[in-house]
Amino acid sequence: MFENLTNKLETIFSKLKTAPSLNEEQVDAGLKEIRLALLEADVALSVAKEFIEKIRPKAIGQEILKSISPGQMIVKIVYDELVNFLGEKNQELNLNATPPACILLVGLQGSGKTTSAAKLAKLVEKKNKKVFLVSLDVYRPAAQEQLKVLAEANQINHLPVISGQQPLDITTRALNAATLNGSDVIIFDTAGRTQVDLMMMNEIKQIKNLIKPTETILVADSLTGQIAAKVAKEFDKTVDISSIILTRIDGDGRGGAALSMKHITNKPIKYIGVGEKIDELEAFHPERIANRILGMGDVVSLVEKVSEGMDEEKLRNTEEQFKKGIFTLDDYLSQLRQMKKMGGMEGVLSLLPGVSKIKKQMENASVDEKIITINEAIILSMTKKERENPKVINGARKKRIAGGAGADISTINKLLKQFKMTAEMMKKMSKGDKNPIPSGAIPDELLNQLKPK
């Protein structure tokens, strides 16, 4: 996410930070490079121009040029303006209506509306709301069937498909069904087209007048960059969108759509699609995204991901074990599985500060995601006694484990070494050590997971 833009900005800032002092000419040269980096990231020209215009007066102010660390001050100015352009703060989904609250998803064909409808439904269910999914796409072959399959695979209530019905008829049937089954929220997935057309817009207007939605959300593909921003402007002008979901942002190394969208439409980005799985839709936090763009990581999101899906009882039991200094290979297995849920090593690394710099220094470096699966297989090939007390694992046991996991002895040795390091850190934490991690230990371990492509 934003990898290309992050790398370019880090290079620009490293020059500014190393300069003992800055003059107006140096700042202007830096701002020119930032503008170019934004344009190369497919940020709209008008947005890039206004961004620089807002930064320049602050960046060339005397308090900046004469400060002890002018480069750091400029980074702070850029960060603040990025947050401002991205929307200042996260905005919650508006469900403020007498149930059922209606949410209308609109957008072009292929933008990821149907998948986003199912993902959004799962997120809303976490708010203890009963959700009802409805497909109004009677034009794309098997579109209604696709939503039905997604709903059933993820235990989401949905409107049964009746062939031959038109969108307005389906809408009326959905409103009646949702009232009868006690739904709190209805999510309507409308039809998309390959381009914005009059027939499409008129249909959305009619549906909107009928359901009076609390949210009309545009689903846009971030990979289309400036095109996504133009589409957003067109939809907003015609059907007055309330917010935006940006899909495929995990594959967008540029980030132009995210930076342009809010500023062009003046409508908030509320969610971003960060993968294909049902739980890979995240709330959009401008300050966290600004941190990622500037290579500062996103530790808050990392902590949220770690705690996600862990029930309170399990957390309490784990905490009690740590207090006693108990940490087994079963606990380590739980950590590995949690990491897989978080998008593997790549997902974790992307949220840590400074990792983009490390990867950039290691030419053609990539994360070996298979190591998590291999380690999982190794632990599952161990007996209960071995998982509770790894010290009993001798050469003969390693040979047996290797055969069961389809791994070699050296990989088992690496796993046991990593486990030992983690167990030592947990022990220190249980004794109240505020700095349990030895200097350089984690970066080294993370670097061990990087290998040339």
Q: What is the 3-state secondary structure (H, E, C) of 277-340?
A: CCCCEEECCHHHHHHHHCCCCCHHHHHHHHHCCCCHHHHHHHHHHHHCCCCCHHHHHHHHHHHH
Say if domain 101-286 classifies as CATH 1.10.3720.10: no
Q: Which of 211, 264, 208 is nearest to 234 (CA)?
A: 264
- The C-alpha atoms of residue 330 and residue 326 are separated, in whole angstroms, by 11
- The C-alpha atoms of residue 97 and residue 93 are separated, in whole angstroms, by 12
pTM of the model: 0.68
Which pLDDT score is estimated for 93?
Answer: 93
Yes or no: say if 129 and 182 are a contact pair by the CB < 8 Å rule.
no
With 80 as the cut, is the pLDDT of residue 317 above it?
no
The neighbour count for residue 113, using CB atoms within 10 Å, is 26
What is the CATH T-level fold of the domain 301-452, as seen in this structure?
434 Repressor (Amino-terminal Domain) (1.10.260)
Describe the crossing of helices 256-265 and 226-239 by its angle, rounded to 10 degrees: 30
Q: Rounded mean pLDDT of 310-325?
A: 60
With 90 as the cut, is the pLDDT of residue 167 above it?
yes
Which pLDDT score is estimated for 189?
Answer: 96
Yes or no: say if 373 and 406 are a contact pair by the CB < 8 Å rule.
no
Domain ranges of the chain: 3-86, 101-286, 301-452
172 compared with 295, residue with greater pLDDT = 172
340 compared with 372, residue with greater pLDDT = 372
Could you tell me the pLDDT band of residue 319, with boundaries at 50, 70 and 90? Answer: low
Could you tell me the pLDDT band of residue 445, with boundaries at 50, 70 and 90? Answer: very low
Mean pLDDT is lowest, of 141-150, 198-207, 213-222, 430-439, for 430-439
Tell me the residue length of the chain.
453
Q: Which amino acid is present at 4?
A: N
Residue 272 to residues 233, 342, 363, 451, Cα–Cα distance (Å)? 18, 15, 29, 29
Q: Domain 3-86 is classified in which CATH homologous superfamily?
A: SRP54, nucleotide-binding domain (1.20.120.140)
Average pLDDT, the chain: 80
Q: Rounded mean pLDDT of 164-188?
A: 95
358 compared with 23, residue with greater pLDDT = 23
Instruction: Name the most confidently modeled range: 138-147, 256-265, 420-429, 436-445.
Output: 138-147
Q: Angle 143-145-148 (CA atoms, 0-180°, nearest 5)?
A: 115
Here the tokens at position 49 are: 């121009």
Residue 381 to residues 273, 377, 398, 412, 428, Cα–Cα distance (Å)? 36, 6, 10, 11, 29
Number of helices followed by number of strands (H, E) in the chain: 22, 10
Which pLDDT score is estimated for 452?
Answer: 43
Which pLDDT score is estimated for 409?
Answer: 93
- The C-alpha atoms of residue 99 and residue 64 are separated, in whole angstroms, by 53
Rounded to the nearest 10 degrees, how much is the dihedral formed by the CA atoms of 283, 305, 102, 201? 50
Here the tokens at position 345 are: 């090593």
